[in-house]
C-alpha cells in the first residue's frame, strides 16, 4: 500500500489505543491533572482516575495498548478486506457476529449499536441476515469501520458513497449516521487523492446534510486549535453531531499527528469514538505532505498490542 493509505489505517487504530486510558472521562480539568502526573497517551485504565469526576469507567478489563470496541471494528474491517479483497456484506456480518458475540475474541464494553446489531444477527442464519442489520442509532460506531474501506477503495467517489452506506447500515441503520459517515469518508478520500486538508474538509461539507453541515462550518471557522472549547461548544458524547465537528476542527488546526491525538484526549468524553476518523485524517494528511516520513510516533506503534496483525493485513491488501 502507499504510505498514506497505510498511515490512514494505522493512524485510526493507534489513536483509539492511545486514548483508551482516559476514554469517557468528561472532565478536562481532571484530565489535565492526570497528564501532569503521569502523561496522557497509552495509560492503563484505572478507576481511581474517574473517582469524583464526571465520566464512565468502562475499560477495567483492558490493559495498556489494547483497543476499545471502535478500534476492534476498525481492525476487523481491515482484516476482512485483506481476506476478501473487497467488502462482502454477508461475510462481514458473519465475522462481526463471531468477533463480538458470545464466545468471540472481543472482551470488553459492548455499546448500544453493537448490542442491538448482535441481537439481530444472533437470532438468524447468515442467509437470512438483513442488509440493514444495525440499530437506529446515530452514535460514532458508525464511523469505526471506514478507514480501511476508504484507503483501499479504487473506484469512484459515487461508488464509495454507496459502499459506505452499505457498511454503516450493518451496525447503524440511521440516516444521520450515514451522512456523517459519507461526509467524513469524502474528506479522507480527498486527502488520499492529494487535496490539502482545508480543501478536503470543505469538499466534504455538501455531503453532511442540512443538520450537520452548519455545525461543521462552525467548527472549521474556529481560528486556532482549542479542542476543549470545541467540545464545550459541540458536545463530548458519542453522537456524530457532537463528535464530527470536533474531528473536523482538530484535523484542520493540528500541526501534526501527535498534536491532534493529544488534543482529542484532552477534550474528554468519547475521545475513542472521535479518534478513529480523526487519526485516519491527520495521519493521511501528514503522510501525503511528506511521504518519506511515517507520521505516527514509533513508540506509539510499539505500544499498540495488535500492531503486527494490522501491519500484516495492510501488507496483504
CATH number reported for the structural domain that contains residue 172 in this entry: 1.10.4080.10
φ, ψ for residue 235, nearest 5 deg: 115, 160
How many other C-beta atoms are found inside a 10 Å radius of the C-beta of residue 193?
A: 11
Express each pLDDT in 97-143 by its tens digit.
999 999 999 999 999 999 999 999 999 999 999 999 999 999 999 99
Contact (Cβ atoms closer than 8 angstroms) between residue 220 and residue 252: yes
Confidence of residue 1 (pLDDT cuts 50, 70, 90): low
Helix (H, G, I), strand (E, B) or coil at 239: strand
Quote the DSSP letter at residue 144: T
Distance CA 163, CA 178 (A): 11
Q: Which residues pair with 139 in a beta bridge?
A: 239
Q: Tally the domains of the chain.
A: 1
Contacts of residue 48, defined as CB under 8 A and 6 or more positions apart, other chains included, come to none
pLDDT at 203 over 80: yes
Domain that holds residue 118: 3-316
Written as nine digits, the cell of 104 is 468471540
Q: Which residues pair with 55 in a beta bridge?
A: 25
Express each pLDDT in 49-69 by its tens digit.
999 999 999 999 999 999 999
Amino acid at each position: 500500500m502507499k504510505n498514506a493509505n497505510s498511515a490512514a489505517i494505522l493512524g485510526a487504530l493507534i489513536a483509539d489505543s492511545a486514548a483508551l486510558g482516559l476514554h469517557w472521562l468528561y472532565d478536562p480539568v481532571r484530565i489535565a491533572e492526570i497528564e501532569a502526573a503521569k502523561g496522557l497517551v497509552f495509560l492503563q485504565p484505572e478507576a481511581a482516575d474517574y473517582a469524583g469526576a464526571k465520566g464512565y469507567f468502562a475499560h477495567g478489563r483492558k490493559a495498556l495498548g489494547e483497543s476499545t470496541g471502535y478500534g476492534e471494528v476498525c481492525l476487523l474491517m481491515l482484516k476482512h478486506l485483506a481476506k476478501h479483497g473487497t467488502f462482502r456484506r454477508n461475510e462481514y456480518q458473519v465475522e462481526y457476529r463471531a468477533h463480538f458475540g458470545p464466545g468471540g475474541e472481543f472482551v470488553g464494553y459492548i455499546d448500544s449499536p453493537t448490542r442491538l446489531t448482535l441481537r439481530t444477527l444472533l437470532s438468524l442464519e447468515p442467509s437470512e441476515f438483513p442488509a440493514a442489520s444495525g440499530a437506529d442509532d446515530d452514535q460514532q460506531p458508525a464511523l469505526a469501520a471506514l478507514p480501511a474501506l476508504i484507503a483501499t477503495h479504487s473506484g469512484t467517489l459515487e461508488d464509495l458513497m454507496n459502499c459506505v452506506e452499505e457498511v454503516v447500515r450493518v451496525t447503524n441503520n440511521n440516516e444521520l449516521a450515514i451522512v456523517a459517515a459519507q461526509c467524513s469518508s469524502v474528506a479522507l478520500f480527498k486527502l488520499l487523492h492529494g487535496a490539502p486538508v482545508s480543501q478536503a474538509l470543505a469538499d466534504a461539507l455538501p455531503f453532511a446534510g442540512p443538520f450537520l453541515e452548519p455545525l461543521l462550518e462552525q467548527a472549521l471557522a474556529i481560528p486556532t486549535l482549542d479542542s476543549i472549547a470545541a467540545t464545550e461548544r459541540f458536545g463530548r458524547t458519542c453522537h456524530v453531531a457532537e463528535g464530527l465537528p470536533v474531528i473536523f476542527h482538530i484535523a484542520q488546526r493540528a500541526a501534526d499527528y501527535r498534536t491532534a491525538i493529544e488534543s482529542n484526549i484532552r477534550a474528554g468524553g468519547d475521545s475513542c469514538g472521535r479518534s478513529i476518523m480523526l487519526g485516519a485524517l491527520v495521519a493521511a494528511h501528514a503522510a501525503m505532505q511528506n511521504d518519506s516520513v511515517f507520521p505516527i510516533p514509533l513508540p506509539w506503534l510499539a505500544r499498540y498490542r495488535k500492531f503486527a496483525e494490522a501491519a500484516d493485513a495492510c501488507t496483504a491488501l
